[in-house]
Chains A and B, each alone.
Chain A
């Protein structure tokens, strides 16, 4: 009896704890800030928002208006955090590279460049146009980084095969730097780009809007679902491609699904919040230390903890130096770089 119950309890806890933390943080994020609000007011405001009386509530009191104003920000944080964390997990699984992170490998920078280019060329349409640009940029950066890193690994080891983790990060840094320089040039040269991109050197939730959330939530949910469905296959490719074939999975197709989901989620997250690094690196590595009961639960927990991490980063950033704020891009790098240094000291890190 106890034998079977204990793993089940562990399974439940593995998902329930982050869910509880996330809900608590979401509540705190709506209530706290430059103008902190009591719990009862939060509840009335949210209830009126859900029943479609948001406008009346805003008119009713400043406190309720503050709460309603923070809702898109919290939703954006949840979407961005879960998208980036699951992207990191999918990249680490697909490339068997412990340093997989969409920011670190230059994908976010590619998305930003494509969006700046599109806006510079006058393509300021709906969110969907921006999203299309972001996907194109992410994909372009991914292909470039992967090709350069494979070439570097082939040169150093003489053999073909998957690119090593260090090559990927170095190629990602080069692509980030180049894309970043061209993006900066566009921001300076073209006023329309400047208007939209002024705050894009760091990832931030300060520009969140309900319209963007509505348009991009579907993309992110779809990406997470794709990774969730591929979870059993990720275990198989972790054992090597030959073993995966033997176990009846098709590693190439699985990789394509995982990387496709990564591109979608990274593009959406970058369109929502700008470049945010290290969330995808931190969350999966921390969770693996807790020995996840199954890969599917690892995906769920990664999404929840990723969302919680970004919300916590945003909340702390808003409270520490209020009324100014520390943007999430700063906090995540501050937390991520020490972890990165620890990971680099492992023996398995090769070019």
Chain B
């Protein structure tokens, strides 16, 4: 029991203990590298399937000839204007949602506290639809609307958490992960979604078609302009998110510990939520609210890494989910094209029930 005994025992074991820790650490890192590499290959393979297979198939040599700029009647148009943009757009949007989910998950410490459940995606789509239809903004204006909407809902949810919606648990960002605040977010989410439905239903026929496909989350609107905008957003936000994600590590030990280590978990957590909300809003602005991609990818990513939080893994899982869902949605039932968001929504709902049932047993 005495401190001396402990330290001598530790001193005797020190070399081996250190070696053990080092071995464990490198094993963890090796596993992480392996998972990242495997997922990257998976995403590329799924994208290849998306581009080459389906109702209209393209051979591999033809694909490279088309990429090289050769004009093959019919095929060039389909690959360059539909199949390839869809695959690239799906991967980018999925990565954005996955990364966003990972940031929310690590800050709020609750697998249910995902940006698509607590209303960030719904707020972004309401912002985009209002910008598009009421204000008449198109292109970048719509993206700005989405960012305002997404950040707006995040702000309201944070304000609710801070104003004592969930008292007694150190700090607003931790309180924000409580079930109470998640339920508040769900209520706000339903409010935002119903505003979108109302606007969509009051539209003229022509607008109705394009807007209603976008509001259920679909890659059919993918084009190179949108992809460029989303890629620019990701180039800025992903490294930022990665840095913040790593800076959140001390907070994993609890707020008091983190303060002791000289970290400022409140500020880092706030930044993580802002960047996470921006990522989800940017992806929503491009292809609509792809339901539950963030909710789905974070637990899957943690399963792959053995419980280790990793933003790149979550982003790659998100990308794989959206590319696969887009392929299934367009090719699974002949003649029927289901928006991607419907597939991810249907897959996410059972997972949400499962997360709810075991939420308190592990978190």
Contact = CB atoms under 8 A, between A and B. Distances in A.
Interface of A: 99, 144, 148-149, 151-152, 155-156, 166-167, 169-171, 173-175, 177-182, 184-185, 188-189, 199, 201-202, 277, 321, 324, 326-327, 329-330, 333-334, 336-337, 340-341, 344-345, 349, 351
**Residue of B200, B216, B356 with most chain A CB atoms under a 10 A cut-off:** B356
Contacts of A333: 190-191, 194
Interface in B183-203: 183-184, 186-188, 190-191, 194-195, 197-198, 200-202
A178 B291 CA distance: 10
B183 A170 contact: yes
13 contacts: A99-B183, A155-B357, A155-B359, A184-B339, A184-B342, A188-B337, A188-B339, A201-B200, A202-B198, A329-B197, A333-B191, A341-B184, A351-B360
B350 interface: yes
A171 B342 contact: no
Nearest to A156: B360
B201 A170 contact: no
Contact of A188 (B194, B338, B358): B338
Contact of B180 (A171, A185, A344): A344
Interface in B317-363: 333, 336-339, 341-343, 345-346, 348-350, 352-353, 356-361
Given A188-B338, A340-B187, A178 B198 contact: no
Contacts of A327: 198, 201
Contacts of A351: 179, 359-360
A169 B339 CA distance: 27
A115 B270 CA distance: 44
Nearest to B165: A345
Interface of B: 112, 117, 160, 163-165, 179-180, 182-184, 186-188, 190-191, 194-195, 197-198, 200-202, 216, 291-292, 333, 336-339, 341-343, 345-346, 348-350, 352-353, 356-361
A351 B180 CA distance: 8
Contacts of A336: 187
B163 to A, nearest CB: 8
Given A155-B361, A156-B360, A329-B194, A173 B342 contact: no
Given A167-B179, A175-B349, 20 more contacts: A148-B357, A149-B356, A156-B360, A174-B352, A177-B348, A177-B349, A178-B348, A178-B350, A181-B291, A181-B341, A181-B343, A181-B345, A184-B216, A188-B336, A202-B194, A321-B202, A330-B195, A330-B198, A333-B194, A337-B187
Contacts of B195: 330
A170 B182 contact: yes
B183 A337 contact: no
Contacts of B356: 148-149, 152, 167, 170-171, 174
B154 to A, nearest CB: 15
B112 A170 contact: yes
Contact of A170 (B179, B337, B338, B346): B179
Nearest to A169: B183
Nearest to A327: B198
A332 to B, nearest CB: 9
Contacts of A344: 160, 165, 180, 183-184
Contacts of B216: 184
Contacts of B291: 177, 181
A93 to B, nearest CB: 21
Nearest to B359: A152
Contact of B191 (A184, A321, A337): A337
A341 B160 contact: yes
B338 A189 contact: yes
Contacts of A337: 187-188, 190-191
**Residue of A152, A170, A329 with most chain B CB atoms under a 10 A cut-off:** A170
Given A155-B358, A170-B112, A351-B360, A189 B333 contact: yes
B349 A170 contact: no
A340 B184 CA distance: 7
Contacts of A324: 202
A321 B201 CA distance: 13
B360 A155 contact: yes
Contacts of B202: 321, 324
A232 B198 CA distance: 41
Contacts of B361: 155-156
A177 B359 contact: no
A151 B345 contact: no
Contacts of A156: 359-361
Contacts of B165: 341, 344-345
Contacts of A166: 179-180, 183
Contact of B201 (A167, A173, A199, A340): A199
Nearest to A326: B198
B183 A180 contact: no
B82 to A, nearest CB: 19
A111 B216 CA distance: 21
Nearest to A281: B187
A101 to B, nearest CB: 11
Nearest to A179: B349
A201 B197 contact: yes
Contacts of A175: 349, 353
Contacts of B348: 177-178
A271 to B, nearest CB: 19
A189 B201 CA distance: 19
A129 B352 CA distance: 32
B342 to A, nearest CB: 5
Contact of A169 (B186, B292, B338, B341): B186
B28 to A, nearest CB: 29
Contacts of A182: 346
B334 to A, nearest CB: 11
B360 A202 contact: no
Nearest to B183: A169
Contacts of B191: 333-334, 337
Contacts of B163: 345
A167 B188 CA distance: 17
Contacts of B343: 181, 185
A180 B341 CA distance: 11
Contact of A174 (B184, B349, B360): B349
A177 B352 contact: yes
A188 B201 contact: no
Nearest to A321: B202
